[in-house]
Amino acid sequence: MFKIRLWHEELITKLPRQQLLGQWRETSALLGNGWGRKHRIVDYVFKYDKNRLANYAYLIAIEMERRGYKANLDILDGKYVYGISDTPIYPEHNQSYLKECIDNLAGKGIILFYKEET
- pLDDT, tens digit, for every residue of 48-93? 988 999 999 999 999 999 999 998 888 877 778 776 677 889 999 9
- When pLDDT is cut at 50, 70 and 90, the band that residue 113 belongs to is confident
Residue 69 lies inside a defined structural domain of this protein: yes
Contact call for residues 76 and 31 (beta carbons, < 8 A): yes
* Domain membership of residue 48 as a residue range: 9-107
Burial degree of 51 (CB within 10 A; 0-12, 13-18, 19+): middle
Looking at residue 31, its pLDDT comes to 87
Please indicate, yes or no, if residue 116 is contained in any of the structural domains.
Answer: no
Q: Does any domain span residue 18?
A: yes
Domain assignment present for 49 = yes
- Whether 34 is covered by a domain: the verdict is yes
Number of domains comprising the chain: 1
Residue 48 forms part of a structural domain: yes
